[in-house]
């Protein structure tokens, strides 16, 4: 479980996050949604420690992550897997080396054990036999799956995903969403996904937080979102005619 308490983040005179409090439950897909510039990615970066919150605290299973220094955070960080918007694979390494990288640094496994783990992770994301390819040789969807495989390599308790569907076709997007959902249930992880993709919201949103102008505007599940009377959320989710028609049918 991850708890965030009263998170504020300011860049110069720009207040990006204004007192966000939330709890992300284990075994669920927790979605952070909102329009561009609403502070979704900033919130995600504050949670994982890439940004330090101006005010507020983040707890990973009751451990105060915000007050820890870099070294104290390492044990928690080895339990975190993250898929970045552009996958952030290391260009100079092969797919296998990318997945083995955290194992090389933080475990004492033999080379064959690490290769076995890398193969297992690749098989889990349906990318068998792609071990020796470089990231530049992969499609966008494959890169995302390798990113997920790398995130899984250390058997994380917490999975963070930033815009998993950006730049992907609808079919691949659904594949990635399904994969995230399966893995969350299978490994009982606390998964936090930042997205503005409505298919993801409706498909895997066990718990959704809607951010608007840096504040938590709404909280609920994908089942509740269709029946909300929150104007800003309705404007965001049902912006397209297709979604409006879908809502009327509901």
- Contact residues toward other proteins (CB under 8 A) are 45, 48-50, 70, 73-75, 77-78, 80, 82, 84-86, 88-91, 101-102, 104-106, 154, 160
User: Least distance in Å: CB of 229 to other proteins?
Assistant: 38
User: Least distance in Å: CB of 212 to other proteins?
Assistant: 25
Closest CB to other proteins among residues 101, 187: 101
User: Least distance in Å: CB of 150 to other proteins?
Assistant: 8
Q: How far is residue 58's CA from residue 4's CA, in Å, rounded to a whole number?
A: 5
User: Least distance in Å: CB of 153 to other proteins?
Assistant: 10
User: Least distance in Å: CB of 131 to other proteins?
Assistant: 19
Give me the torsion for CA of 50, 52, 57, 63, rounded to 10°: 50
Closest CB to other proteins among residues 158, 217: 158
Closest CB to other proteins among residues 50, 245: 50
CA separation, residue 13 to residues 54, 65, 128, 215 (Å): 12, 26, 49, 16
Q: Which residues, 6 or more positions from 42, have their beta carbon under 8 angstroms from its beta carbon?
A: 9, 16, 17, 51
- Give the largest CA-CA distance in the chain: 58
Closest CB to other proteins among residues 39, 49: 49
CA separation, residue 202 to residues 33, 53, 131, 179 (Å): 12, 30, 33, 15
Q: How far is residue 163's CA from residue 15's CA, in Å, rounded to a whole number?
A: 22
Closest CB to other proteins among residues 37, 75: 75
User: Least distance in Å: CB of 189 to other proteins?
Assistant: 15
Closest CB to other proteins among residues 21, 86: 86
Angle at 66 between CA 64 and CA 72, to 5 degrees: 75
């Amino acid at each position: 479980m991850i708890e965030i308490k009263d998170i504020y983040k300011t860049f110069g005179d720009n207040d990006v996050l204004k007192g966000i409090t939330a709890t992300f439950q284990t075994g669920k897909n927790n979605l952070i949604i909102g329009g561009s510039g609403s502070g979704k990615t900033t919130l995600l970066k504050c949670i994982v420690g890439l940004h330090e919150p101006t005010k507020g605290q983040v707890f990973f299973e009751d451990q105060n992550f915000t007050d820890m220094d870099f070294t104290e955070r390492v044990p928690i960080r080895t339990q975190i897997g993250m898929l970045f918007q552009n996958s952030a694979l290391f260009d100079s390494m092969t797919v296998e080396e990318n997945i083995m990288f955290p194992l090389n640094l933080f475990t004492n496994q033999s080379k064959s054990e690490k290769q076995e783990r890398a193969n297992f992770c690749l098989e889990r994301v349906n990318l068998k036999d792609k071990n020796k390819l470089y990231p530049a040789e992969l499609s966008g969807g494959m890169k995302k799956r390798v990113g997920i495989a790398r995130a899984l390599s250390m058997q994380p308790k917490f999975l963070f995903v930033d815009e998993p569907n950006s730049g992907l076709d609808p079919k691949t997007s659904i594949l990635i969403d399904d994969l995230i959902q399966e893995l969350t249930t299978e490994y009982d992880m606390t998964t936090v996904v930042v997205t503005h993709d409505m298919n993801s919201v409706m498909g895997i949103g066990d718990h959704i937080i809607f951010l608007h102008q840096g504040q938590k505007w709404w909280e609920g599940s994908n089942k509740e979102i269709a029946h909300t009377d929150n104007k800003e959320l309705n404007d965001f989710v049902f912006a397209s005619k297709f979604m409006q028609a879908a809502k009327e049918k509901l």
